[in-house]
Chain A
Amino acid sequence: MDAVLRQVEQLPALLAVSRSAQVRDWDCLTLDRALEWARYFQHLHHRFRARPQLREALGRRLRRSQPLPLLGFPALGRCPQLLGLALLENRALPPAACRCLLRGLLPPPGEGSGCDPRGLALLARRKAAARLLALVPGPEGQLQAEARLLLGRLREEGQEAAEAAGQLPWLRAALEQLPQPRACGVVAAALALLPQGCGTEQAGDTDRAAGSSQGGYQAGAAGDGCAAGLLLSWLLGDQERFSAFCLCLPSSQLAFLAGHYSQLSRSYLDLLTSWGSRLVYDPLQGRWVKSCLDKAELSWEELRERFICLCQGPALLREQTQAALELLRTRDGDFKVRGLSVWTDLLMEVGY
């Protein structure tokens, strides 16, 4: 077992090398060895996935050997594809080794089994399918897919019972790969999926039902809580980021999320409050306008729409919003006439 643990430590290094320029010295033999390792790691995954203690041990060892815990136990199962595709994309791989790689990835008919051992033909087919189905304009499937993978990964972490604190840097690093509006969209989609309980479906075990769903439902629920917690920490941890998040998402989606996550609703209301406080009344135009034409704030109309959406949410959210508005109105002097306090006007708009 000790030997296995030491071997598993090599995985991150192997993947790192396969993405680096070091492969330019590889020949066919080295390549075959690397692919053998990948198959071996996959074999380990299959052997140990139904045995929680060994899983955990392997997962812990794997995590220890990386600066950022990108890879957990499930990554062992994906090793052949991870390695194969990384090498395919690595231009430093010399032609001779690359030829071996191609033969290994796409075995021609007659050699070995007729079916596709690495599922690469299926991948190409699915990629084409995604393009075809995208020809019909519709809701962004891409965002949903990314959100599901993110959740899958978070759940995997949750099942490994790793400390939450250690995961935040990793999450941050991953989300940094996306431009901010998109990252916000993905996190929003992920948070929206969680309350719907999208099951204990492991994102990594794509084609076959994972055997790892033992006690899956409970672990799933706990994992969901963890995942939500992490996502919210990421979101609320940076004021600028949170403000951008609230600006780029539609009000209905934000209201939905606020209805399900109380920390979110509090922060959201605080943010709306600060934006609302900066509006001034223009008596000549007879309406509330922004004090400075800073784009990173809401206009009166947008603010009103946000509050209306919030008041259409679940009862708790409605009450919370109403209470907040009333408090603000009182603080401002409890006017019942338009044009004096933005909160009075808002309350009138939402019908209270």
Chain B
Amino acid sequence: MAQDPTVPKLNFEYWLDKAIEWGQATTLESQKDVCLHLSQLQEFLHQLYEAIKHLGPTVVIQQFPLIGQLLGRLCWNPFVIGYDESQKTLMWCLCCLYSSEPQNAVELKANSWVRSLLCHLLSSSKWESNEAETSAFISALGYTSADYYCHLVKNMVVSLVRELRENQFNGLNIQESISASRVNAVSIFCVPLITLPDLAPLLETLLLYHGGSSKEILSSEFLESVNEAFLKKKISLPESVVFSLWLRHLPSLEKATLHLLDQVLSIQLNSLEEVACVIKDSLLPQAASHPAIFRIINEIFKSALMETDGTSEVLTVIQVFTQLFLQDHQNENKQHKFPLKAYFPYHHQPLVRRLVRRPFELPTTYWSEHVKHISDMVKALVEDTNASSLTDLFEIWFLVACFGEWLDIAAEQLLKAAVEPDPVLWLLAFYYCPKNENQQRTQTVVEAQAVYSHLMMLFNCADLSLKDLEAAVHRVMGTEQCCNQQFTTHLLTNFLLFSPGGHKIAQECIYHITEITDTSKEVHNLLIRTAHRFNHSGEENQRTVKLLNELLQKLTLKV
């Protein structure tokens, strides 16, 4: 067969050099190096197999004369054989070198060599003297090497687990404690075996193991690999073990949080329940019951917000995360529950206490008062000349943003209840436009008041047309400041949902806005959040619910 030019150039020499360098992986450096390259090697072996699977053995050797050296060396490296699916691919490659009709001495020799290697991998090999006796004994009992190695691995795991557990309680007795280097070594040897189900008890025991020293004794390769396997759902671990992993290895926690953000942002989620499901599965809200974890996750969220310029999807993740965290925290019956201050140490505690009250905990008649209190407190904090640095401002804004439910309720209350509009408008203006160096926020408030008055005038009109709302719509489209755009869109959307006359023109109006501006994502997001609230608190007006669902359907198709 002619050489296929479309086959990608395999980095054969590189891997052969590596295999020679590693040998049988007897030194610590070689072991760590193998661990770092395991997944790339697996990928390479797969590509190699794809390249040779349709070729005859002689052609394979012509194209890759050193393939025997490579495969042979890798077969003696237990890290490679123990990893994931590498042993399968390696054996398939070996089978490709086996001829069913050997024509010459070379092929005969290759056949014999392939069989010896396969025996080495699967049963007893002539190269290992101590295996011969054992395999004779096992055969005499009527068992196979499959049974033997199953038991052997289980036993080794059990005895290592016992050793580690016993040592936990003897942590104070320095003489009897296992040396840190031993535990470190065990963790390195486990790296290829993480997805092997037999190892699960050992993984869990290692992750929960605390020796006497304050330094981390588990190898970082091990911690990273376990985290990877967990995030890719290749293994499942009990919650306490996952929390332990994240508490002792910061990069794993960061990766897990970023992975969650990626997940939520990459798929189109159509309801808040779906978002909540994904976030709950990640175990991050549950882990956040440890204040240290909570604060680190929030720092990552803050960075994500700044990088994406405060996009509404990230905000939604943060808000749902906070809700789930609170639910978990309040449901816990643990005696040593951490106080709220541990999670929000640098914030004004009365404000925190108000924000963490879930809306359904208060009767709806108190909601406006509650929002007013929040608004007053935030205003006081923000306008305090001592706390006017940009960082402080951001921190306050972030705190309020985490509890976005109250903001949504505030906006709703503006249109549904008889409230004093100014504090509410101020709070929403602060949310959409926190900075005020050039009086942007003040302007936003003024704008908002104008829009609000206009909308309130139209509130009880039965027969509305798009023209009546034109002034408001123009504001949405015409402003340069996008924060005003978002704020106005929010007010407008709420108006359409909750005013009796707004229902008829709702679809037309929203279609119009989202066509012209870039706000379809924000509107979609707002509608999802409103739908979620309706499901939980129950919206009495059936027409509103129906309208909401229709709007969502239309928008979902578009977005």
Contacts and interface: CB of A to CB of B under 8 A. Distances in A.
B142 A129 contact: no
A53 B121 CA distance: 39
A128 B95 contact: no
A129 B91 contact: no
B150 interface: yes
Interface string B136-178: 1111111111111111110111011001000000000000000
A136 B181 CA distance: 10
Interface stretch (A174-182, A250-258, A295-303): A174-182
Contacts of A132: 78-79, 82, 189-190, 192-193
Contact of B95 (A106, A109, A149): A106
A116 B152 contact: no
B397 to A, nearest CB: 51
B101 interface: yes
Contact of B121 (A91, A124, A206, A207): A124
A175 to B, nearest CB: 8
A315 interface: no
Nearest to A203: B147
A135 B160 contact: no
Given A71-B142, A126-B153, A146-B137, A85 B123 contact: yes
Contact of A138 (B136, B139, B163): B163
A138 B115 contact: no
Contact of B153 (A78, A121, A130): A130
B185 A136 contact: yes
Contacts of B79: 128, 132
Chain B: interface size category: 35 or more
Contacts of B190: 132
Contact of A134 (B81, B156, B163, B192): B156
Contact of A141 (B81, B91, B100, B159): B159
A282 to B, nearest CB: 39
Contacts of B437: none
A33 interface: no
Contacts of B152: 126, 130, 141-142, 144-145
B350 to A, nearest CB: 55
Contacts of B99: 95, 99
B545 interface: no
Contacts, number: 198
Contacts of B119: 88-89
Given A127-B121, A149-B143, A102 B150 contact: no
B199 interface: yes
A153 B142 contact: yes
A214 B92 CA distance: 41
A78 B115 CA distance: 22
Contacts of B157: 133
A158 interface: no
A206 B198 CA distance: 11
A107 to B, nearest CB: 9
B81 A124 contact: yes
Contacts of A99: 98-100
Contacts of B78: 128-129, 131-132
Contacts of B182: 136
Contacts of A96: 100-101
Interface string B283-325: 0000000000000000000000000000000000000000000
A149 B147 contact: yes
Contact of B82 (A72, A98, A125): A125
A197 interface: no
A123 B122 contact: yes
Chain A: interface size category: 35 or more
B186 interface: yes
B133 A179 contact: yes
B474 interface: no
Contacts of A204: 143, 147
A206 B147 contact: yes
B111 interface: yes
B145 A103 contact: no
B87 interface: yes
Most central of A70, A146, A178 by chain B CB within 10 Å: A146
Nearest to A205: B147
Interface in A143-178: 144-146, 148-150, 152-153, 173-175, 177-178
Nearest to B85: A121
A120 interface: yes
Contacts of B100: 95-96, 98-100
A127 B198 contact: no
B326 to A, nearest CB: 41
Contacts of B144: 78, 81-82, 85
A121 B145 CA distance: 12
B182 to A, nearest CB: 7
A139 interface: yes
Most central of A103, A131, A145, A152 by chain B CB within 10 Å: A145
Contacts of B185: 135-136
The B contact surface, by secondary structure, is helix
A124 B87 contact: yes
A108 interface: yes
A199 interface: no
Interface string B51-93: 0010000000000000000000000001111100101100110
Contacts of A145: 148, 151-152, 155
Nearest to B191: A132
A231 interface: no
B196 to A, nearest CB: 6
Contacts of B133: 177-179, 182
Most central of A74, A88, A119, A135 by chain B CB within 10 Å: A135
A75 interface: yes
B128 to A, nearest CB: 10
A177 B137 CA distance: 5
A99 B94 CA distance: 11
B153 A98 contact: no
A95 B102 contact: yes
Most central of B81, B185, B190 by chain A CB within 10 Å: B81
B118 interface: yes
Contact of A129 (B92, B122, B163, B193): B193
A59 to B, nearest CB: 12
B134 interface: yes
Nearest to B26: A135
Interface string B94-133: 0100111110000000011001001101111000000001
Interface in B346-371: none
B155 A121 contact: no
A126 B142 contact: no
A85 B189 contact: no
A166 to B, nearest CB: 15
B149 A127 contact: yes
B122 A127 contact: yes
B17 to A, nearest CB: 22
A121 B87 contact: yes
B65 to A, nearest CB: 22
A226 B13 CA distance: 60
B91 A177 contact: no
Nearest to B50: A109
Given A129-B196, A146-B134, A148-B151, 12 more contacts: A82-B142, A95-B100, A95-B111, A102-B118, A127-B122, A128-B82, A132-B192, A135-B189, A138-B159, A139-B159, A149-B151, A182-B133
25 contacts: A70-B140, A71-B142, A88-B115, A88-B123, A95-B98, A108-B92, A109-B92, A120-B91, A120-B122, A126-B150, A126-B153, A127-B122, A128-B192, A129-B199, A132-B78, A135-B185, A138-B163, A142-B134, A145-B151, A146-B137, A146-B148, A152-B143, A153-B142, A177-B133, A178-B133
Interface of A: 70-72, 74-75, 78, 81-82, 85, 88-89, 91, 95-96, 98-100, 102-103, 106, 108-109, 116, 119-136, 138-139, 141-142, 144-146, 148-150, 152-153, 173-175, 177-179, 182, 186, 203-204, 206-207
> What 5 pairs across the A-B complex have the smallest Cβ distances?
A128-B82, A128-B81, A174-B140, A99-B100, A177-B136
